[in-house]
Amino acid sequence: MDSAHPLVTKRRYVTADVFTERKFGGNPLAVVLDAEDLATEQMQAIALEFNYSETSFVLPPDDPAHTAKVRIFTPRAEVPFAGHPNVGTAFLLARENQFEAAARAGSFVFEEAAGLVPIRLLCERGLTVGAELRAPEALSRRTALSRDAAAACLSLNPSDVATQVHAPQVVSVGLPFLVVELASRDALSRAKPNLAAHAEFLPLDGADAVFAYWRAAQEPASPEETILHARMFSPLDGIAEDPATGSASAATVALLASLGPGERAERTWRIHQGVDMGRPSLLLGRTTIRDGIAVATHIGGRCVAVLAGSFV
């Protein structure tokens, strides 16, 4: 820790595995509960110490009508919004006494750099078991990348990249990702990050990570639900692979919903991620479409508390 900003106060942290029903699955998250007077460089150093894909820091809200201000850091940088930190932070705060009233109401609102993030708590038998967020921004479609370049980023052949529905493209609902559809589950299994290609083609329109997915065949019994299998690589941000990426999943389902049949105003999505790296995750999405535009995108899932402690 920078000696100019010593940590002299004992601070509490808690961790959870997010988008899973069992410990040591899903995406691990650390939440620092007493972050009010931490400097930005201290938060960044703490996030690097935890070395999870993200660490969140809870501060008092600017508007007392909101639950908290939440800042989110990867090991290398602060991000304006992310999926599993919101879901996991809400789940963990629901267990804290100072948030008891909001937890009873069943909803939180977090202030973040990308905007306000409304969150609905998921409860069973009186216990909070997870959370669902609403993305803070409408879908934005940004620069497209060639099939060859996208394939290179994933160490795949160009024929492994599907372009019938959309080209590889940067999309965002609060945090941008390059989203690439693959032609088969086998291609998804074979994908791995090519650091040289990432450095050549990224960052692009703010995106320094690649979210690759394969769309499973539609189940006739569930025509309104679509199943995706996904992986996310961000070596430029120090994350070789992420087990569950809510912000990228949200942007992807918002894109697919806006390109899908116009009569389906409401759709649900199941995104399986982390399977290929031994941390299986399940993300549940909902989209609302009006006039071909995704006007609301939700991502949620279950969580499991894992660790609690303090540092000085």
pLDDT over 70, % of the chain: 95
> Does residue 223 have a pLDDT over 90?
no
Return the structure tokens found at 249. 């999943």
* pLDDT for the residue numbered 7: 47
- Ordered by start, the domain boundaries in the chain are 11-136+303-311, 140-299
pTM (predicted TM-score): 0.93
pLDDT in tens, 63-117: 999 999 999 999 999 999 999 999 999 999 999 999 999 999 999 999 999 999 9
Q: What are the distances in angstroms from CA 124 to CA 84, 127, 128, 132, 171? A: 20, 5, 7, 14, 34
Domains 11-136+303-311 and 140-299 agree in fold = yes
State the chain's mean pLDDT as an integer.
94
Superfamily of domain 11-136+303-311: Diaminopimelate Epimerase; Chain A, domain 1 (3.10.310.10)
pLDDT over threshold 90, residue 1: no
- Residues marked as catalytic: 54
Tens digit of each residue's pLDDT (9 = 90 or more) over 257-309? 999 876 668 999 999 999 999 999 999 999 999 888 889 999 999 999 999 99
Q: Of 217, 105, 116, whose CA–CA distance to 174 is shortest?
A: 116
Using the structure block, give the residue that is written with the tokens 């006039």.
291
Q: Computed from CA positions of residues 120, 125, 128, 132, in that sequence, does the dihedral angle turn out positive or negative? A: negative
What's the whole-number mean pLDDT along residues 19-39?
Answer: 96
User: What average pLDDT does the segment 201-212 reach?
Assistant: 97
Average pLDDT over residues 114-140: 97
Domain boundaries 140-299, CATH class: alpha beta
Rounded to an integer, the average pLDDT of 209-235 is 88
Question: DSSP E strands: which ranges in the chain?
Answer: 11-18, 27-32, 55-59, 68-73, 78-79, 107-112, 115-124, 127-134, 140-144, 169-172, 177-181, 210-215, 225-234, 239-242, 266-273, 281-290, 293-311
